[in-house]
C-alpha cells in the first residue's frame, strides 16, 4: 500500500512537472527580452532578419555576395556566421535546429583600427528547455575545446578552435544566445542586459517603428560612431561622412537583394546637433533636381538640396537660428558687416534670385590640380536678374575693397572673382564654409562658384562638349529609381571618386586603395535620397552592382596611367630636328590664382619647365621654356593670351636655331 502511494505521488509530481513545462514552453513569455537590448551602445550598424536561414541562403547565391565575399571585411562576416554553424558536429546545422528566428548582427569598433561582429539569436521557447546551453559540450566535435568562465554573474562558454587558433565566445541571457569572436563584445552585451541603451534610445525606437518588419532584412545605421568606423579603413573620414555624423541620429532601412541592385527604403531622424541648414530643409518642402544639366559626367559627388522655394527655406533658416541667441547674433553681425562694408542688401541682391535647388559637386577634373575640386551651384529663378545683381555686388567690391580683378573670358563664359571672405559660411552655415573667396561663372540658368578657377573651366568644358550628367545614360537610368522631387539627394560615382582620392593620397594609401579597388568600384553608382516626412526624412538608398571588370571597360582609372620618366640627358634640338610648324604651339595653362602675375610649371627634378607672365588670368608678357637641366629652350611674348612679336628656339648651348614672327 505504501509502495502504491509512493507511485501515485511520483506520478502526480511527474504530471505536475510536465504541465509546468508545457505552461513555461507555450504560455509563459514574461521572462523574454528583446534582442536589441543586448546590442552594445557603440554599434555602427545593425542587420536584422526574421528568417536568417532562408535569407542567408538567398544572399550567398547572389552575384553581389560572391564578389564581396572575396574581400577580407565581408569574408570575415560570412566566415563567422558559417563557423557558428560548422563548429557543431551534427550534420543538421545549429541554425537549422534553432529554426528561422530573429537574428541580429551588429558591427563595432572595439579598438583603434579594429572592428568585430556580435551575433544575437532569439531562441524563444527553445531557450526555456536549455537544450543548447546544457548540452553544448556534447554538440562540439573534437576540433574544438570548451571552457567556461563567469562575467558579472553570467556564464561565458569559450569554444577554442585548435586548428585555426580562434575562440568563439557564447553566452545565454534569458531567451537570447549571444556570440562573437571578440570577447569584449560579449562582455559589453552582458553589460547591456542590466542597462540597455540602444534598445531604449527614443530616436532608435522611432525609426524602428517606422521601418517595421517587411522585406528580407532591416539595416540600422547609428551615425555617432560612423567616423570611428571609417577610420578603420581610412586615416581621415570624408567630407560626406563628417556631415552625416554631425547631422543624423539613426537611419533604418528595409530591403531585399535583387540580382544587381540593392534598393533600401526607410527613415532617418536628425540629432540635436543637426545643422540649422538641415533642420530648415526638413520644414521647406521638396524641389526638383535639375543641376545635372550642367554637372560634368566626371562628377564624383553631387549633393543636392532642394525646396519649394529658397525664400521659404531661408525664412525657416532664420527662424531656427533665432532659437540659439548666440548663434543668431553671430549670423546678424556677419551679414550686417558684409552689407555695411559693401553697401548691399543680401536678401535683395543675392537671395532674391535663387530658385528651388542648390548643390555641392566634387569633380574628377582633367585640368585642375586641386584635391578640393568642389563647386557650389545655385539655380536662378531669373538669370538676367541674377546677373544684374551679381554685377552690382562686383562693382561694390571694386569700389570698396583693394581687390582689383578684371573679368576673364574662357571659351565665351565670363569668370569673375567674388572676394568676400566667409560669405557663404555667414549666410548658409558651416556646410558651405569651404567655398571661400570664390570665382564664379554663369551657365544657362545656373551660377557656379568655386575656389579654383580650373574647376569652373572643367565644368565649362564638359558643358560645351555635352559631357554632363544629363547626357550620361547610366546616370539617367539610375536617377529614374528616385523621386524627381526631394529635399536632399546624394549621387556618388565611385570610379570618379576613386580617381579623385587616388590622385591626392600618399603612397601607402594608394597601395591600400589599389588592393581594394574591385570592392570599391563594384557599386559604380550609389544614391541616397531624403524627403521630409513629418518629424523624419523618408529615406531611400540604392546601390547598383556591376562586375568590376565591366566597370573598368567603361572608366579610365588614374592608377593605370604610366608615369612619364624624363631622360636624364635633355633631348638636343637642332635646326633640322625641330618641327617648325608645331614648335611654338604652347599648351593651354590652368593657373589656380587668376589674380597672380606669373605662372610657373616645374619638372619633377625641381627645375622650371616654363614660366609666363599673367594679367587677369591670361598669358600676357614674357614666356620662357627650359630644358630639364635648366638651359633656356624657347622665349617669346604674349598679349592678351595671343602670341606676338618674335619667338625663338635655342639649343643646349643657348645658340639660336630658329625664330618666327607673330
pLDDT in tens, 395-452: 988 888 877 777 888 888 999 988 887 788 877 777 777 788 889 999 999 999 998 8
Ranges 126-130, 174-178, 370-374, most confident: 174-178
* Cβ contacts of 375 within 8 Å, gap of 6 or more: 360, 361, 363, 448, 449, 450, 455, 456, 459
Higher pLDDT, residue 357 or 50 = 357
Position 390 scores a pLDDT of 94
Position 234 scores a pLDDT of 65
Angle at 265 between CA 263 and CA 266, to 5 degrees: 150
- CB-count exposure of residue 37 (10 Å: 0-12, 13-18, 19+): buried
Position 54 scores a pLDDT of 60
The 3-state secondary structure of 341-395 reads HHCCCHHHHCHHHEEEEEEEEEECCCCCCCCCCEEEEEEECCHHHHHHHHHHHHH
Position 436 scores a pLDDT of 82
Q: Would you place residue 33 in the very low, low, confident or very high pLDDT band (cuts 50, 70, 90)? A: confident
pLDDT in tens, 551-599: 888 888 877 665 545 555 666 677 677 888 888 888 888 887 777 889 8
Q: Over range 246-252, report the average pLDDT.
A: 86
Residue 302 has pLDDT above 90, yes or no: yes
Q: Which residues pair with 636 in a beta bridge?
A: 623
Ranges 47-61, 74-88, 442-456, most confident: 442-456
Q: Over range 615-624, report the average pLDDT.
A: 87
Residue 482 has pLDDT above 90, yes or no: yes
Q: Over range 500-520, report the average pLDDT.
A: 77
Residue 260 has pLDDT above 60, yes or no: yes
Higher pLDDT, residue 79 or 655 = 655
3-state DSSP assignment of residue 138: helix
Position 62 scores a pLDDT of 65
Residue 385 has pLDDT above 50, yes or no: yes
Q: Is the dihedral of CA 552, 231, 370, 601 positive or negative?
A: negative
Position 503 scores a pLDDT of 72
Position 366 scores a pLDDT of 63
DSSP state of 588: P
Q: CB–CB of 49/120 below 8 Å?
A: no
Position 465 scores a pLDDT of 94
Q: CB–CB of 555/529 below 8 Å?
A: no
Q: Return phi, psi of residue 569, to 5°.
A: -110, 125
Position 146 scores a pLDDT of 84
Residue 141 has pLDDT above 90, yes or no: no
How many residues are present in the chain?
A: 662
3-state helix, strand and coil shares in percent for the chain, rounded to the nearest 5: 40, 30, 30
Give one DSSP letter per residue of 505-554, joined into a string: S-HHHHHHHHHTHHHHHSS-EEEEEEEEETTEEEEEEEEE---HHHHHHH
Position 1 scores a pLDDT of 47
Position 19 scores a pLDDT of 47
* Cβ contacts of 167 within 8 Å, gap of 6 or more: 158, 159, 160, 161, 181, 183
3-state DSSP assignment of residue 246: helix
Share of the chain above pLDDT 70, in %: 78
Dihedral, 505, 508, 511, 513 alpha carbons, nearest 10: -50
What is the Cβ-side half-sphere exposure of residue 71, based on CA atoms within 13 angstroms?
A: 20
pLDDT in tens, 492-509: 999 998 888 777 667 777
Q: Over range 631-649, report the average pLDDT.
A: 91
Instruction: Give the closest residue to 616 by CA, choosing from 636, 601, 599, 600.
Output: 599
Position 289 scores a pLDDT of 92
pLDDT in tens, 157-180: 888 888 878 888 989 888 888 989
Q: Would you place residue 89 in the very low, low, confident or very high pLDDT band (cuts 50, 70, 90)? A: very low
Determine the Cα–Cα distance for residues 624 and 600; give it in Å rounded to an integer.
Answer: 10
Give one DSSP letter per residue of 550-584, joined into a string: HHHHHS--GGGSPPP---SSPPPP-TTTS-TTTTT
Position 132 scores a pLDDT of 55
Determine the Cα–Cα distance for residues 149 and 168; give it in Å rounded to an integer.
Answer: 13
Average pLDDT, the chain: 81
Higher pLDDT, residue 652 or 445 = 445
Residue 14 has pLDDT above 90, yes or no: no
Residue 59 has pLDDT above 90, yes or no: no
Q: Over range 202-221, report the average pLDDT.
A: 86
Residue 7 has pLDDT above 70, yes or no: no
3-state DSSP assignment of residue 430: helix
Q: Would you place residue 274 in the very low, low, confident or very high pLDDT band (cuts 50, 70, 90)? A: low
Higher pLDDT, residue 142 or 229 = 229
Residue 369 has pLDDT above 90, yes or no: no
Position 20 scores a pLDDT of 45
Q: Which residue has the cell 538676367?
A: 384
Position 443 scores a pLDDT of 97
Residue 347 has pLDDT above 70, yes or no: yes
Q: Over range 279-302, report the average pLDDT.
A: 92
Q: What is the pTM of this model?
A: 0.77
Position 529 scores a pLDDT of 93
Q: Would you place residue 183 in the very low, low, confident or very high pLDDT band (cuts 50, 70, 90)? A: very high
Determine the Cα–Cα distance for residues 624 and 608; give it in Å rounded to an integer.
Answer: 9
Amino acid at each position: 500500500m505504501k509502495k502504491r502511494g509512493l507511485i501515485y505521488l511520483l506520478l502526480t509530481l511527474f504530471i505536475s512537472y510536465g504541465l509546468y513545462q508545457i505552461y513555461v514552453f507555450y504560455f509563459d513569455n514574461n521572462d523574454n527580452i528583446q534582442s536589441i537590448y543586448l546590442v552594445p551602445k557603440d554599434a555602427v550598424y545593425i542587420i536584422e532578419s526574421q528568417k536568417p536561414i532562408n535569407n542567408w541562403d538567398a544572399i550567398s547565391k547572389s552575384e553581389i555576395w560572391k564578389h564581396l565575399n572575396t574581400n577580407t571585411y565581408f569574408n570575415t562576416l560570412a566566415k563567422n556566421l558559417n563557423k557558428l554553424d560548422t563548429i557543431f558536429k551534427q550534420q543538421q546545422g545549429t541554425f537549422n535546429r534553432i529554426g528561422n528566428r530573429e537574428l541580429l548582427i551588429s558591427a563595432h569598433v572595439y579598438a583603434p583600427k579594429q572592428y568585430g561582429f556580435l551575433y544575437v539569436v532569439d531562441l524563444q521557447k527553445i531557450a526555456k528547455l536549455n537544450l543548447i546551453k546544457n548540452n553544448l559540450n556534447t554538440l562540439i566535435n573534437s576540433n574544438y575545446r570548451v571552457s567556461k568562465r563567469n562575467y558579472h554573474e553570467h556564464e561565458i562558454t569559450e569554444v577554442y578552435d585548435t586548428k585555426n587558433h580562434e575562440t568563439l565566445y557564447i553566452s545565454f541571457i534569458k531567451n537570447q544566445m549571444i556570440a562573437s569572436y571578440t570577447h569584449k563584445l560579449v562582455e559589453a552585451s552582458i553589460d547591456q542586459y542590466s542597462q540597455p541603451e540602444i534598445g531604449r534610445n527614443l530616436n532608435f525606437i522611432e525609426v524602428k517603428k517606422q521601418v517595421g518588419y517587411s522585406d528580407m532584412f532591416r539595416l540600422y545605421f547609428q551615425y555617432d560612431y560612423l567616423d570611428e568606423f571609417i577610420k578603420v579603413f581610412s586615416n581621415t573620414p570624408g567630407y560626406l561622412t563628417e556631415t552625416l555624423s554631425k547631422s543624423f541620429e539613426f537611419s533604418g532601412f528595409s530591403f531585399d537583394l535583387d540580382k544587381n541592385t540593392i534598393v533600401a527604403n526607410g527613415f532617418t531622424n536628425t540629432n540635436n546637433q543637426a545643422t540649422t541648414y538641415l533642420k530648415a530643409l526638413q520644414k521647406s518642402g521638396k524641389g526638383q533636381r535639375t543641376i545635372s544639366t550642367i554637372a560634368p559626367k566626371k562628377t564624383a559627388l553631387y549633393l543636392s538640396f532642394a525646396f519649394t522655394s529658397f525664400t521659404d527655406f531661408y525664412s525657416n533658416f532664420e527662424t531656427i537660428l533665432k532659437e540659439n541667441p548666440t548663434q543668431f547674433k553671430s549670423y546678424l553681425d556677419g551679414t550686417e558687416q558684409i552689407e555695411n562694408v559693401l553697401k548691399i542688401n543680401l536678401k535683395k541682391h543675392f537671395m532674391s534670385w535663387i530658385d528651388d535647388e542648390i548643390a555641392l559637386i566634387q569633380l574628377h577634373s582633367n585640368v585642375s590640380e586641386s584635391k578640393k575640386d568642389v563647386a557650389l551651384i545655385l539655380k536662378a529663378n531669373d538669370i538676367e536678374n541674377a546677373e544684374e545683381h551679381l554685377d552690382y555686388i562686383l562693382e561694390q567690391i571694386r569700389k570698396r575693397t583693394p581687390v582689383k580683378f578684371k573679368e576673364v573670358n574662357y571659351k565665351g563664359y565670363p569668370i569673375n572673382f567674388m572676394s568676400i571672405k566667409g560669405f557663404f559660411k555667414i549666410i548658409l552655415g558651416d556646410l558651405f564654409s569651404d567655398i571661400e573667396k570664390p570665382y564664379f561663372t554663369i551657365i544657362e540658368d545656373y551660377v557656379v562658384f568655386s575656389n579654383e578657377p580650373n574647376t569652373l573651366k572643367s565644368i565649362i568644358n564638359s558643358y560645351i562638349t555635352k559631357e554632363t550628367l544629363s547626357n550620361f545614360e547610366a546616370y539617367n537610368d539610375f536617377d529614374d529609381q528616385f523621386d524627381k522631387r526631394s529635399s536632399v539627394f546624394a549621387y556618388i560615382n565611385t570610379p570618379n571618386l576613386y580617381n579623385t582620392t587616388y590622385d591626392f593620397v600618399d603612397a601607402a594609401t594608394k597601395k591600400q586603395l589599389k588592393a581594394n579597388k574591385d570592392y570599391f568600384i563594384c557599386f559604380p553608382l550609389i544614391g541616397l535620397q531624403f524627403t521630409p516626412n513629418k518629424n523624419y526624412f523618408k529615406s531611400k538608398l540604392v546601390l547598383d552592382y556591376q562586375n568590376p571588370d565591366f566597370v573598368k571597360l567603361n572608366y579610365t582609372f588614374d592608377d593605370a596611367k604610366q608615369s612619364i620618366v624624363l631622360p636624364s640627358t635633355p633631348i638636343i634640338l637642332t635646326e633640322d630636328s625641330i618641327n617648325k610648324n608645331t614648335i611654338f604651339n604652347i599648351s593651354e595653362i590652368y593657373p589656380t590664382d587668376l589674380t597672380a602675375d606669373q605662372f610657373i610649371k616645374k619638372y619633377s627634378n625641381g627645375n622650371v619647365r616654363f614660366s609666363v607672365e599673367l594679367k587677369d588670368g591670361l598669358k600676357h608678357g614674357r614666356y620662357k621654356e627650359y630644358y630639364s637641366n635648366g638651359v633656356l629652350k624657347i622665349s617669346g611674348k604674349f598679349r592678351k593670351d595671343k602670341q606676338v612679336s618674335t619667338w625663338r628656339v635655342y639649343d643646349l648651348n643657348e645658340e639660336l636655331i630658329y625664330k618666327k614672327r607673330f
